[in-house]
A and B are shown apart, each in its own frame.
Chain A
Amino acid sequence: MRVILIATLSAAAVVVAGCSTTPEDQSAAAVEDRSKPGAGKPGADAKSVDRPKIAAVDVTQGRKDAASALKDPSSILSKRSIYYDLDQFEIKDEYRGLIEGHAKYLRENPGARMLIQGNTDERGSREYNVSLGQRRSDGVKRMLVLLGARDDQIESVSLGEEKPQADGQGETAFSKNRRSDILYGGEY
């Protein structure tokens, strides 16, 4: 399969290259495949794509003493999702301990970096949902900063309705999808 894929990509490259000598080729369609192993690197192919830079990640300091704590099921730090009521952005009281735990971790590990992804359920405009998810992740970030984390340790972003945790219609699924997820540097 991979051989075929690579052969196909190479053939496409040859066609593109071969054609680039004539003005007609200006309309060659650019085709990329980022889903397959490609040159062997999972999740990214070998094409010359301008990979966007996200905030620099340095987990060396944070990881030594705490990488295990981040994954330890008995640690609050292993709890990474905050769920919301319909149309709500307020962080419910039950998540206070979770937020405080992560704020403490960021304070004590100044090299640690965090990505917060806000999410919504699937109803409504995809782009408007990106903004609603952003409002959720911004709220989590704001609280972490109030509790002593540094602003530049945290990036809050939104995945809108695009990455549901639960498939399907109905409040059971929707309530799992209205959430903010916390990821640490090295996890994204």
Chain B
Amino acid sequence: MRFLLAVIFFLLAAPAGAQLSIEITGAGAQRTPIAIVPFANEASAGTSLTAIVRADLERSGLFRGLEVPPLSPAPNENSPMNYGEWRSRLADAVVVGSVGMAADGRYEVRFRVYDVVKQAPLGAIAYLFTKDNARAAAHRIADFVYEKITGEKGVFSTQIAYVVRRGTTYELQIADADGERAQYLLRSNEPIISPVWSPDGRRIAYVSFESKKPIVYVHSLSENKRQVVASFKGSNSAPAWSPDGKTIAVVLSVEGGSQIYLINADGSGPRRRISNSQSIDTEPRYSSDGKSLYFTSDRGGSPQIYRMSATGGEAQRVTFRGSYNVTPRPSPDGRVLAYVTRESGKFQVALMDLANQQVQVITDSDRDESPSFAPNGRMILLATVIGGRGVLSAVSADGRIKQRLPYAGGDVREPSWGPFTE
């Protein structure tokens, strides 16, 4: 059902024109060689599913797609598996399948994944899809293959949000994780910053300056509407969703300065102030268990990251090295904190192991900002500046795999990686 929803969602989308592409600029130490055999009859769907699956898997930096010569007869998911033959082609894994028509007129793709080294089937599944949704089907296939081989969930079916600036026009866009099928949610003559997905992936909170001051909106993807959730006197910014999606932490200046408050995500009820300092407290972000809030504060004289209970109270300082540590982003498993650190005038993304406070800088340009974890925690999307233009890039949590996402149509910034949806 969700699958079908995805189709309609994109049918109604306003195409955003230019879109992101992804270039791999660094790969994992060892990449699994995988043979994705063109599915029998896949041309009938009008899209090469297996080409998309291969591109997805290669972009992860963990796989190397093997060229597969035309095989006769073309194997499908029911063909006997000749492990020796694939071993001689140096494949560690093989995917075979076919595309047919279901009784309801939709396409049906069936496929199997084999581990050639262990000589064992890893799994098989079938998906139904309409022609317009072939890309989504391919991403689902890639997610299945990825999970069967690596043991962790794939993020090929997730979406990303980001802001594009062209001259004085700003667009909040969402796209598939591979940058395809971009569409805009909001177009404005004033800046848009800090988009962040709700935990269920159905809403995006962001800050818009369209009224000459920052105001926080929640934009529902499933209804043709958005809602003001924080428009108090002064500035309203830095939204962060609680893991249950019911509460949004925001930063308000209504009582002077920049302090952290909680509001209901539907905009109802009163605001609750949870930080109480004479300094700047901003960029709140919930820990994955929802019990703590990480935030940036200059209470110690320079901006540093602190943690407090999600209901307020005493804060503990988290970062100590350097004089500028901002934009805390806890990983989905809660073990790592990504943030932006300034060293020698360069702004770079650092990861802190929260168990032992070890810090590793994982980017190497000098104007990196807004890191955002993939929902499986493996990659981090971020904004940087290359050649004077804002672009997105992605880096694996171990720093090895690097991707650039060039965009022809303007400056891109403020990325936010959406959650798993299913």
Contact = CB atoms under 8 A, between A and B. Distances in A.
Interface stretch (B38-46, B251-259, B373-381): B251-259
A126 B193 contact: yes
Interface string B61-82: 0000000000000000000000
A165 B340 CA distance: 26
Contacts of B118: none
A120 to B, nearest CB: 12
B381 to A, nearest CB: 15
Given A51-B211, A127-B238, A128-B282, A138 B12 contact: no
Q: Which size class do B's interface residues fall under?
A: 35 or more
A134 B16 CA distance: 33
Contacts of B119: none
Contacts of A183: 212
Contacts of B48: none
A95 to B, nearest CB: 21
A162 B221 contact: no
A117 B235 CA distance: 10
B258 to A, nearest CB: 4
Contacts of A126: 193-194, 369-370, 414
A32 B296 contact: no
Contacts of B391: none
B32 interface: no
A172 interface: no
B227 A125 contact: no
A126 B184 CA distance: 21
A3 interface: no
B253 A158 contact: yes
Given A52-B211, A117-B213, A127-B238, A29 B9 contact: yes
Given A19-B12, A30-B224, A34-B187, A134 B327 contact: no
Nearest to A159: B209
A35 B187 CA distance: 6
B256 A138 contact: yes
A21 interface: no
A34 B189 contact: yes
Contacts of B209: 159, 162-163
A7 interface: no
A16 B210 CA distance: 25
Nearest to B326: A125
A157 B342 CA distance: 26
Contact of A35 (B188, B224, B227): B188
Given A34-B186, A126-B194, A156-B253, A29 B221 contact: yes
Given A50-B228, A52-B231, A28 B211 contact: no
A36 B184 CA distance: 14
A131 to B, nearest CB: 4
B257 A162 contact: no
A31 B185 contact: yes
A26 B5 CA distance: 8
Interface string A120-134: 000111111011101
A117 B191 CA distance: 14
A29 B13 contact: yes
30 contacts: A25-B12, A28-B223, A29-B12, A30-B226, A31-B185, A31-B224, A32-B226, A34-B186, A35-B169, A36-B187, A50-B226, A50-B228, A54-B212, A124-B347, A125-B303, A125-B326, A126-B369, A127-B282, A127-B283, A127-B296, A128-B283, A128-B303, A130-B237, A130-B282, A132-B280, A138-B256, A156-B253, A157-B214, A157-B235, A188-B212
Given A30-B185, A35-B187, A130-B282, 15 more contacts: A27-B202, A28-B9, A48-B225, A54-B212, A55-B233, A125-B303, A128-B283, A131-B280, A132-B280, A155-B213, A157-B253, A158-B214, A160-B237, A162-B193, A188-B212
What are the 7 tightest A-B residue pairs by CB atom distance, in nearest-first order?
A: A52-B231, A131-B258, A162-B191, A27-B9, A157-B213, A131-B280, A125-B326
